[in-house]
Chains A and B, each alone.
Chain A
Amino acid sequence: MTLSALRVAIIVFPGSNCDRDIMVAIEQLTSRRPALVWHKEASLEAADLVIIPGGFSFGDYLRCGALAGRSPIMNAVLDHAARGGAVMGICNGFQVLTETGMVPGVLIRNAELKFACRNVRLQVCKTLASPFTSKLAINKNLTLPIAHNEGNYFAEPGELDQLEGEGQIAFRYTDSSIIGKANPNGAARDIAGVISRNGRVIGMMPHPERAMSDLHGGSDGAYFLLKSLEALVS
């Protein structure tokens, strides 16, 4: 399969606001425009990757992602994942994934109680087999933007030990010359992204679609997405 054959579906909630951005990013890499799927749909056409984009799905007045996690389309996404389908949740999409239990843990308010939009430095972790990390060098650093108010990853210590032991932590925040704390939100054990036990679902706070070229100030997002897409076609 070639990259242009890859079928990517992007779920659109009424308050999603990075749906177009990730669509453009994927199209830049694959030359094929992903399908946008409205949250009121009850079914999903066959897809090689489902992306839940960033934004404020239903305003986030309740818990972030809580309402979105119960949208009609999410049953279809859960079925897709249960069949071993690949799912990527970015920022609010990560929050939706934790709400549905597709990835472990929860995301709570940033430790400094402020929205944070800036670059962070990530370290790629050694993980179980997953298309989202298999083509990345372990310990490689990536610089990606974050923009969230609730990105403080939390799980019980026992669960965190288990995630570490099983290799389910995809990225950690790490030191760099960027002004501000390396861990921007107080996330437990500096966790910026986690993957499911079968390796097919990833939730991550950073926004790869905002780092697609030097004009964005960096292209590590394009690198990460391309490696994931390549792994999915191979």
Chain B
Amino acid sequence: MTSASDNMTFKNASAMGLSRDEWDLITQRLGRVPNLCELGIFSAMWSEHCSYKSSKKWLKTLPIDGPQVIEGPGENAGAVDIGGGLAAIFKIESHNHPSFIEPYQGAATGVGGILRDVFTMGARPVALLNALRFGEVNNDRTRHLVSGVVSGIGGYGNCIGIPTVGGEVNFDKSYNGNILVNAMAVGLANSDRIFRSAATGPGNPVIYVGAKTGRDGIHGATMASAEFSDETESKRPTVQVGDPFTGKLLMEACLELMASDSVLSIQDMGAAGLTSSSVEMASKGGLGMEIDLDLVPTREGNMSAYELMLSESQERMLMVLKPDATERARAVFDKWDLDFMPIGQVTETGRLVLLKNGGAVCDIPIGPLVDDAPEYDRPHGEAPSRPQLASAEIVTDSPISLVLKLMLGHVDLASRRWIYEQYDSQVMADTMAGPGGDAALVRVHGSSRGLAISTDCTPRYVEADPKTGGAQAVAEAYRNLSAIGATPLAITNNLNFGNPEKPEIMTQLIESVTGMGDAARMLDTPVVSGNVSLYNETDGNAIQPCPVIGMVGVIDNVETAVGNSFIAAGNHILVIGQGDGTIDGWLGASIYQQHFGDNKIYAPPPIDLSDERSHGSFVRQQILAGKINAAHDISDGGLAVAIAEMAMKSGLGANITTPASGHLHGWAFGEDQARFVVSTADDAALIAAAKDAGIEITKIGMVVADSELKFGDSDTISINEVCGVFEGCIPSLMVG
């Protein structure tokens, strides 16, 4: 089958990112050396991106079960029961490397890919979110990347007609050469109509549908598993090109076909295209697959077996149909003007056999491709211990209002309007709360139920203390959902780290997964899907670690949800999770420290998961009982920033009582966790309820009609003034 001329050597394998041990294992399992196509398939399946070989050992420690879980990790996306016979199906995935090379297409195909993961399961996507990290903003390259990524995300989501309802973005110089673009999609399906990928029934037809195959994205999964260097520009041809219009046709055609009783199994052609889809379908079914590559629809001539198997052309799916369903299925794809081609069949052999020009060009056992994929316990150490920053060490006597104005003009705190107004956040007409809230709220179409969704991570905390940072990402998402009144259900995670072959990076990964697992267990939000992106380094410099959490929750009646905008003058402002005693506030690893402290890495605010749970639950219950009319999680920038955001959104002002003692700036800008600012018409009832629940609560002021923030007796600033810096920051930076 393999002519001597195509016999591969270790040198070829090494060029595809395989190690000597991995090469030896392949030749041993095959009993011969592979040809180019076969080696390409092994290298893609065993890439970090597809095999999770460095992270698998640690991912297994995460909680994945719960009564709400319908489908945990391992399928195209996770699924949870949201009641009413419906499932929320969701996942987050990275497209970091392609987006750095070609920001528009990289980001667009990231969105397209995650949408396919969701509708492959039979769910209609209803919401998109993202988590982005860019380098220093005062930099032409960063501006180019921000602009390209944002328009790429919008370009795909806006056209396919799924609202982009939320997200997060930070800027740090560690991302100068390696940005992060993580896209999350959430869909809805009937719980009893979820589609999976395991191939069934030897002899059943294997169908290729969607766009034609070209030479774009060849070996993209392998590129995503390597560090960047100066030669990265030469990898532009490995970036895929998105076509959201075809994506829309594919989505509609698949959902239409899935509504009939035709599809046995289905898998999207994402990373490693036809290779991973065919191998995963056959492997999960414990079966084999035979494919005639001459039948694959192509848009370029003379594509080799290697190119056909490794192409990452977008908007393609592989399906196994019921034997009698082919013509019904063909009619659906004809209606949507998409290619529909039976290209092979399910077999009993347990082998992947590929035919081309009448002969076999690949014949390999599927077991080793998946089961023998390497799993490493990479060397790691202990996370460095960080000193605690005493608030008193930072001495400034500026009034709170002045500091607040400076902070709101900080790129990590400023309004994201310039970004999110480029996304259609309202199409489908069920967005009840879009970008700018604590969590997004999307109504389940035709019902009063709502899905609450948020993406979160604070990389500077993770860098300082990966275990606390990993837990904090889950806790912040939990707070964000609780702050609108929703019950958190489950999470998806996107672990973005540097090179795992470095012990200090592996330590970050392990510690943050541990923290994340602890938090997910305590908060009853198991991990149902996720993605790992490693080797986020350029010329040996790793990114700030960024384990992003995407959390999904539910609220029975969207009308009971609240926002983070003050409602009426005369309402009382309280902080839940903060006692009367003077506190100095936790300024280590805060945004305030970035402004006024030194450049040292200090310990981040500690996380008490039991407090997170009880405070979040209390806020949720009080919202649903109608006792809280606006709520906002206290996170980046602390209490004063949270209050300012609630005021700016409403146009109302606030009179805030400052504490008589303690560190004033620590009080205003400390980032102590497990806290919420809320407003209510009945402060006495809320305080009594908190006392009953054993939760600390402090009344700190009143909402006022004057458009002014007043701290203490004489420190005031107008809402217009803070709004000016808050809204002006990113637009002016983008102008350069």
Contact = CB atoms under 8 A, between A and B. Distances in A.
Contacts of A216: 426, 429, 431-432
Nearest to B246: A59
B426 A145 contact: yes
A177 B648 CA distance: 12
Contacts of A54: 427
Interface string A134-150: 00000000000101010
A24 interface: yes
Contacts of A17: 159-161, 248, 427-428
A14 B154 CA distance: 19
B390 to A, nearest CB: 39
B425 interface: yes
B151 interface: yes
Contacts of B422: 114-117
B245 interface: yes
B721 interface: no
Contact of B161 (A18, A24, A118, A177): A18
B559 A147 contact: no
A232 interface: no
Nearest to A38: B335
B31 to A, nearest CB: 49
B432 A215 contact: yes
Contacts of A180: 417, 421
B429 A60 contact: no
A117 B252 CA distance: 24
A24 B447 CA distance: 13
A147 B424 contact: yes
A209 B429 contact: yes
Contacts of B426: 117, 145, 147, 207, 210, 216
B195 interface: no
Nearest to A214: B559
Contacts of B252: 14
Most buried by B among A17, A24, A25, A60: A17
Contacts of B443: 215
Contact of B158 (A21, A61, A147): A147
A167 to B, nearest CB: 31
B52 interface: no
Interface size of A as a range: 20 to 34
Contacts of B154: 115
A115 B423 contact: yes
A217 to B, nearest CB: 9
Given A115-B158, A179-B417, A56 B428 contact: no
Interface string A86-111: 00000000000000000000000000
Contacts of A60: 159, 245
Contacts of A21: 427-429
A134 to B, nearest CB: 26
A207 B428 CA distance: 12
Contacts of A179: 417, 723, 727
Contact of B425 (A20, A24, A117): A117
Interface in B209-256: 243-246, 248-249, 252
A103 to B, nearest CB: 23
Chain A contact residues: over half helix, strand or loop, or mixed?
loop
A180 B723 CA distance: 12
A56 B336 CA distance: 15
B337 interface: yes
Interface string A17-42: 11011001100000000000000000
B249 A147 contact: no
Most buried by A among B161, B244, B337, B558: B161
Interface string B324-345: 0000000000001100000000
Given A55-B161, A59-B159, A147 B427 contact: yes
A225 B243 CA distance: 34
Contacts of A209: 429
A212 interface: yes
A165 interface: no
A154 interface: no
Interface in A150-199: 177, 179-180
A117 B159 contact: no
B413 to A, nearest CB: 17
Most buried by B among A20, A59, A116: A59
Nearest to A210: B426
Interface in B134-169: 151, 154-155, 158-161
A58 interface: yes
A18 B337 contact: no
B112 to A, nearest CB: 13
Contacts of B159: 15, 17, 56, 59-60
Contact of A25 (B155, B160, B429, B727): B429
Most buried by A among B245, B425, B443: B245
B428 A59 contact: no
Contacts of B429: 18, 20-21, 24-25, 209-210, 212, 216
B458 to A, nearest CB: 27
Nearest to A19: B161
Contacts of A24: 429
Contacts of B421: 114-118, 180
Interface string B621-634: 00000000000000
Given A17-B160, A116-B421, A180-B421, A56 B244 contact: yes
Given A59-B245, A114-B422, A14 B336 contact: yes
Contacts of B425: 117
A60 B104 CA distance: 17
B245 A115 contact: no
B559 A215 contact: yes
A60 B151 CA distance: 15
B151 A56 contact: no
A18 B422 CA distance: 17
B245 A56 contact: yes
Contact of A18 (B160, B243, B248, B427): B427
A119 B213 CA distance: 41
A145 B243 CA distance: 26
A114 B243 CA distance: 19
A118 B422 CA distance: 9
B244 A59 contact: yes
A180 B420 CA distance: 13
Contacts of B427: 17-18, 21, 54, 147, 210
A179 B723 CA distance: 10
B273 to A, nearest CB: 22
A15 B420 CA distance: 22
Contacts of B431: 216
A225 to B, nearest CB: 13
B435 to A, nearest CB: 9
Nearest to B559: A215
Given A59-B243, A59-B245, A117 B424 contact: yes
A17 B426 CA distance: 11
A25 B426 CA distance: 14
Contacts of B249: 14-15
A61 to B, nearest CB: 7
A15 B423 contact: no
Interface of A: 14-15, 17-18, 20-21, 24-25, 54-56, 58-61, 114-118, 145, 147, 149, 177, 179-180, 207, 209-210, 212, 215-216
Given A17-B160, A17-B428, A59-B243, 14 more contacts: A14-B245, A17-B248, A17-B427, A25-B429, A54-B427, A60-B159, A114-B421, A115-B155, A115-B423, A116-B421, A117-B420, A179-B727, A209-B429, A215-B559
Top 7 A-B residue pairs of the complex, sorted by shortest distance between their CB atoms? A17-B161, A59-B245, A21-B429, A56-B159, A147-B424, A115-B422, A210-B426
12 contacts: A17-B159, A17-B248, A18-B429, A20-B428, A21-B427, A59-B245, A60-B159, A114-B421, A115-B423, A147-B158, A210-B426, A215-B559
Interface of B: 151, 154-155, 158-161, 243-246, 248-249, 252, 336-337, 417, 420-429, 431-432, 443, 558-559, 651, 723, 727
